[in-house]
Amino acid sequence: MNVHTGTDASGYVTSETPPEAKRPRAPSIRDVAKLAGVSHQTVSRVLNNHPSIRDETKSRVLAVMGELQYRPNRAARALVTSRSRTIGVLTSHRSEYGPASSIQAIEEAAVLQGYLVVTANAEGADSHSIARAITHLLDQAVEGIVVIAPQVRVFDTLAEMQLDLPFVTLQSTGRLNDHALSVDQMTGARLATRHLIELGHRGIYHLAGPQDWIEAEARMEGFLREMGDQDVPTTAPILGDWTAEFGYHAGRELLRVRDFTAIFSSNDQMALGLMHAIHDEGLDVPRDISVVGFDDIPEAAHFWPPLTTVRQDFAELGRRCVALLIDHDELPEGTDAPGSVIPTLVVRSSTAPPSA
Amino acid sequence: MNVHTGTDASGYVTSETPPEAKRPRAPSIRDVAKLAGVSHQTVSRVLNNHPSIRDETKSRVLAVMGELQYRPNRAARALVTSRSRTIGVLTSHRSEYGPASSIQAIEEAAVLQGYLVVTANAEGADSHSIARAITHLLDQAVEGIVVIAPQVRVFDTLAEMQLDLPFVTLQSTGRLNDHALSVDQMTGARLATRHLIELGHRGIYHLAGPQDWIEAEARMEGFLREMGDQDVPTTAPILGDWTAEFGYHAGRELLRVRDFTAIFSSNDQMALGLMHAIHDEGLDVPRDISVVGFDDIPEAAHFWPPLTTVRQDFAELGRRCVALLIDHDELPEGTDAPGSVIPTLVVRSSTAPPSA
DNA sequence: CCACTCTTTGTGAACGTGCACACCGGCACT
DNA sequence: AGTGCCGGTGTGCACGTTCACAAAGAGTGG
């Protein structure tokens, strides 16, 4: 591991400060102005492409900017406008596939709008670390927060801190909105559940995620409703923690009774652990037990057997979050985003009709 | 999906601006000063805990800060000090486990030092998108860059742009340093290879990563050296792209000849694809073919069969990067970081002696 | 008691940008 | 010709912080 500075070929041998070094201050708006023979304000106008500026002036200024390699100073701008053009992302489990790809999409979308993204991970997801994460974001003067985390607790903490900050989550909350759970996640869960029912399964378990995650709640809700609608007797879902490890142990536990022929897992990782447990018992997927996941992480197609799962368009979700956050005041207050992202069922080889 | 503003319970019905609203400017250093009965400079000194300040004064100022919920304005500070206290992370494949967890570690370490982390993803990893990513980082006035990407190209681009910016990579480059490849990655690869050789395998393939990733190069180098040292005839490594998908197709291809009994894959995802291909052919892992991965992603323990792999301490790597970057001028120029992170071999069930 | 130092505090000027306002010239309308 | 307006440009200040410098008070040594 090494540190490099770009140009290492300088001829200096002495470690004294090279004569007349005095790191030559980056060019400012005024330097550009002087060289272009205009006032700094004109340069500023070019920068913010103000309408009334003569084309010729504009191009002259732009030319000088290129020549000087001018870069607007974000700090100065933030200082005077008192707008940071920064949005914060609050996560937990940020290195897992779902959150990670959402972050990526958020970042891409934000950059496109000239915004900066700052992330803060609340490992452990307890109130304390959530508060710490929020504080970090606040220190960066974020203008809004995207929440990819146990939202209930985040909301509570946010309220506790009495912040008047716009925030947005990957799903509508079901709390502030009186259980107006977002359709998409639920639809996905229903899709998965229906698939199992249509294959002929009746003993179906649901391995849910932590219930203070809205996604988890919505998926569970979808499962329960679909089971209800189709008059299939339902057993209580098991509450997991998203990890393969948990899926494995839950599987071991479940298989001691084995009063089921299918499991719908709230994400792909837990499904993987589940299949591991099933294999460990000498059973086969899908012959003995069918498994459905959720998310369609890139690896899911190569699990053994390849996993039937629900594909989530994380990127699209991320993009919408940003859109909503950035021009949220242009939307009528309280309306849901038009056209939810609809997840699709990807049928692979981990599901089959129950074996007689 | 919904946008919320923290306090929604305000009594206003009209959407007119509430009387005397004028968003009450966040408290500044001067507000604190006034209330504490000192000068703004004294407050500043408390902030930067300057040595010569009376304890009593200090605590009084701190008290007022707490009372006012004062937060230092980062932009103002950056403006005057012309230091952004920001470091950039340049990635590609950022949502994959390895990069993602490194980023997380980097961020944690950076925050601890009062630094901000900005990420930029060069999707596609071509020169153009790398340049774009670097530009984005530059716009944030980053003070240094951590590279988690095809480093060769990043270095070239950096050089092309003639930037005098400290940067650090997860591994020393092998280019600038005349092939002083970092030991750790190589050691890991040797560990994996030796494990296979010791089990009795002789026909061993290596599925490598893209060769402009230093990690990939180092792992391949480790494989080749170990094979050489142990006098095992070597076949040319296959160059992959880190994805399970590629591993699968490479596996299908390889199995048409089947002149091997073991494969060492440069990461876990490709190993997963490989095992998928092997299963597809009706073969068994490890009975017919042994597979070793690299990284030990959390899912690896639950692959079928559970994957023998090399554990990487991404978090530690991230932490070191930051340490190196932030106080890099305190280290003697050009020395490697003391005590590389040594990866360990995790033996699970995907490896066994060759079947006769 | 003076000269000096050291600690603790204050004063004023930057930093680079955007905003409010003023200014100038030309055109259209009266 | 005067009045008003509009496109295009310039002037000065403000944003919140740190830095360089100075000043006031306390202590110390001769």
Q: Where are the alpha helices (DSSP H) in chain B?
A: 29-36, 40-47, 55-68, 74-81, 97-112, 127-139, 151-160, 183-198, 214-229, 244-255, 268-280, 314-326
Q: Where are the alpha helices (DSSP H) in A267-340?
A: 268-280, 314-326
Q: Which residues of A touch B275 (CB under 8 A)?
A: 302, 304
Task: Tell me how far apart the alpha carbons of residues A128 and A293 are, in angstroms, rounded to a whole number.
Answer: 31
In chain B, the N- to C-terminal Cα span, in Å, equals 59
Nucleotide in closest CA–C1' contact with B50 = C8
Contact (CB, 8 A) for A69 and B135: no
Chain D: positions less than 7 Å from a protein CB are 7-12, 14-20
Q: Closest Cα partner for B35 from B59, B56, B64, B58?
A: B64
Q: Which residues of B touch A279 (CB under 8 A)?
A: 304
What's the rounded mean pLDDT across residues A160-182? 61
Same fold, B4-72 and B185-312: no
| pTM score, whole prediction | 0.88
Contact (CB, 8 A) for B176 and A4: yes
Which pLDDT tens digit goes with each residue over B245-274? 999 999 999 999 999 999 999 999 999 999
Compute the mean pLDDT over every residue in chain B, rounded to the nearest whole number.
86
pLDDT at site A3: 55
* Stretch (H or E) spanning A263: strand A262-265
| B140 to chain A: closest CA residue | A74
A82 CB neighbours strand C below 7 A: no
- Which tokens is B249 given? 């197709």
- For residue B172, pLDDT beyond 70: no
Which pLDDT tens digit goes with each residue over B292-330? 999 999 999 999 999 999 998 887 888 888 888 886 544
Task: Tell me how far apart the alpha carbons of residues B216 and B223 are, in angstroms, rounded to a whole number.
Answer: 11
Which pLDDT tens digit goes with each residue over B48-60? 999 989 999 999 9
Q: Closest Cα partner for A100 from A295, A289, A354, A256?
A: A295
Task: Tell me how far apart the alpha carbons of residues B275 and B291 are, in angstroms, rounded to a whole number.
Answer: 7
Q: Closest Cα partner for B137 from B110, B167, B114, B109?
A: B167
* Stretch (H or E) spanning A310: strand A309-311
Cα distances from B228 to residues B119, B204, B233, B260, in angstroms, run 40, 12, 7, 17
Lowest-pLDDT choice from A15-19, A98-102, A297-301, B151-155: A15-19
Which pLDDT tens digit goes with each residue over A103-121? 999 999 999 999 999 999 9
- Of A121, A164, A298, which has the smallest distance from its Cβ to B244's Cβ? A298
pLDDT at site A23: 58
Give the right CATH number for A83-180 from 3.30.460.10, 3.40.120.10, 3.40.640.10, 3.40.50.2300. Answer: 3.40.50.2300
Q: Closest Cα partner for A218 from A305, A119, A298, A152?
A: A152
Contact (CB, 8 A) for A90 and A147: yes
Secondary-structure class of domain A185-312 per CATH: alpha beta
pLDDT at site A129: 93
Contact (CB, 8 A) for A46 and A39: no
Contact (CB, 8 A) for B305 and B351: no
* Whole-angstrom Cα Rg for chain A: 27
**Number of Cβ atoms within 10 Å of the Cβ of A93:** 23
- Which tokens is B356 given? 């006769």
Lowest-pLDDT choice from A305-319, B20-34, B141-155: B20-34
- Which tokens is A147 given? 């929440």
Residues in chain B, total:
356
Which residue has 């042994």 as its token pair? B290
Q: How many CA atoms lie within 13 A of A264 on its CB side?
A: 31
Residue B173 backbone dihedrals phi, psi, to 5 degrees: -80, -30
Chain C: positions less than 7 Å from a protein CB are 7-12, 14-20
Which residue has 């006012």 as its token pair? B68
Residues in chain A, total:
356
Q: Which residues of A touch B324 (CB under 8 A)?
A: 1-3
Give percent of chain B above pLDDT 90: 65
Cα angle vertex A240, ends A238, A246, to 5°? 115
Give the right CATH number for B4-72 from 1.10.260.40, 1.10.10.10, 3.40.50.280, 2.60.40.10. Answer: 1.10.260.40
- For residue A228, pLDDT beyond 60: yes
- Which tokens is B70 given? 């004062």
Query: A107 and B97 in contact by Cβ < 8 A?
Result: no
Q: How confident is the model at residue A340 (pLDDT cuts 50, 70, 90)?
A: low
Q: Which amino acid is at B320?
A: R
**Domain spans in chain B, listed from the N-terminal domain onward:** 4-72, 83-180, 185-312
B45 CB neighbours strand C below 7 A: yes
Q: Which residues of A touch B273 (CB under 8 A)?
A: 302
Give yes or no for a cis peptide into B305 (omega within 30° of 0): yes
Query: A177 and B2 in contact by Cβ < 8 A?
Result: yes
pLDDT at site A156: 86
